């Protein structure tokens, strides 16, 4: 993949890629891949499967076209249903952006309070206004804290420091990778959200707090303060991630609605045409032409469903891997991270 696809997803979406930097097939299908490219792949695969089925069953005889007629009749009804879904999804997206003046004011005030708390704890005058730059500031602060703890660890020995080394090194590697990705000039909300999906911040916070509680008397005051601030910073990063997920969901649902409309209307027209054609008979077409033409028409008629599948795969993956907010986590979220997460 390139640096960024048409969906605004930078390569490296959601998982460590190891030294090669390349996503696995599962990562590409569920997260990295441009949804239009994924749809094209599913469409091509569907056409090949239908051609293979034709080869096994045999050519279509003109006197045996009734099942195909009823198939396209069902596809017409299905596509009408999908277009209805488009309208419903569009209404959902629009409803998320509506509100009374009081609701909008409360939302602005709560967001400003969060920004001000970041400015106070990060020693910056004015926090950035874009979500990606805002997250970048938080990650820079977290990186500085991990470096401070690492310097203290290098001067000390003992069990607590060994456990702290493992926790901080893992966290520092993640923060450095995400910070590097987000610092790119062409980063988008989706790609910024993407590179945070491979870390369970709740688990990291639990590990840091456990070390602090167990070895508090053996740790220096500076390390204790850094750990406390780092826990707060990770909580703030998770809040930023959850907010970006909200923005991403609205943007992705809008793209899904538009894509379904673009694909649904041609698919509906093809289905209607095939209904009429089978009703009057394909007298001018040979069985060899029907062999390739009918699977192609079926594939085009199924395109809206394939678009829906491509988008839902990523929507559900992102939602599932961020389903629990700090300080909680869920077993299924951790299982997904083990499957699609750290691959190095």
Q: Tell me: do 108 and 236 sit in the same domain.
A: yes
pLDDT at 14: 41
User: Is this model's pTM higher than 0.85 or not?
Assistant: no
Per the structure, the count of domains in the chain is: 2
At 136, is the pLDDT very low, low, confident or very high (cuts 50, 70, 90)?
A: confident
Please tell me the predicted confidence (pLDDT) of residue 342. 39
Domain boundary among 248, 280, 314: 248
Q: Where are the alpha helices (DSSP H) in the chain?
A: 25-27, 35-57, 66-96, 101-122, 131-154, 159-182, 189-194, 201-215, 221-280, 287-321, 331-340
- 166 plus 262 within the same structural domain: no
Which range (34-43, 45-54, 135-144, 300-309) has the least confidence? Answer: 135-144
10 Å Cβ neighbour count for 251?
Answer: 16
One domain for residues 128 and 228: yes
DSSP-based three-state secondary structure for 10: strand
Q: Residue 138 — very low, low, confident or very high, per pLDDT cuts 50/70/90?
A: confident
230-234, 310-314, 321-325, range with greatest mean pLDDT: 310-314
* pLDDT of 199 above 80: no
Q: Which domain holds residue 276?
A: 25-87+256-340
């Amino acid at each position: 993949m390139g640096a960024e696809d048409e969906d605004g997803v930078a390569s490296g979406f959601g998982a460590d890629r190891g030294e090669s930097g390349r996503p696995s097939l599962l990562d590409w299908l569920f997260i990295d891949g441009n949804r239009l490219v994924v749809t094209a792949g599913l469409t091509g695969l569907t056409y090949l499967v239908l051609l293979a089925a034709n080869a096994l069953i045999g050519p279509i005889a003109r006197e045996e076209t009734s099942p195909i007629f009823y198939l396209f009749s069902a596809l017409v009804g299905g596509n009408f249903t999908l277009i209805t879904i488009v309208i419903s999804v569009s209404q959902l997206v629009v409803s998320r952006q509506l509100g009374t003046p009081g609701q909008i004011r409360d939302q602005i005030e709560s967001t400003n309070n969060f920004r001000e708390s970041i400015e106070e704890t990060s020693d910056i005058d004015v926090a950035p206004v874009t979500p990606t730059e805002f997250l970048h500031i938080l990650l820079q602060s977290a990186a500085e804290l991990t470096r401070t703890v690492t310097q203290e660890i290098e001067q000390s020995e003992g069990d607590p420091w060994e456990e702290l080394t493992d926790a901080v090194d893992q966290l520092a590697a993640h923060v450095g990778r995400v910070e590097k990705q987000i610092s790119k000039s062409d980063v988008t909300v989706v790609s910024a959200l993407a590179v945070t999906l491979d870390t369970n911040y709740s688990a990291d916070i639990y590990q840091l707090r456990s070390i602090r509680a167990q070895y508090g008397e053996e740790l220096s005051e500076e390390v204790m303060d850094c750990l406390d601030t780092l826990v707060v910073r990770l909580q703030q990063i998770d809040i930023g991630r959850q907010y970006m997920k909200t923005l991403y969901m609205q943007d992705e649902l809008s793209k899904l609605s538009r894509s379904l409309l673009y694909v649904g209307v041609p698919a509906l027209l093809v289905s209607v045409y095939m209904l009429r054609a089978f009703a009057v008979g394909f007298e001018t077409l040979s069985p060899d032409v029907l062999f390739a033409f009918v699977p192609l028409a079926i594939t085009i008629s199924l395109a809206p469903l394939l678009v829906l599948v491509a988008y839902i795969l990523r929507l559900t993956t992102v939602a599932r891997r961020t389903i629990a907010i700090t300080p909680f986590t869920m077993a299924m979220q951790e299982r997904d991270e083990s499957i699609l997460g750290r691959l190095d």
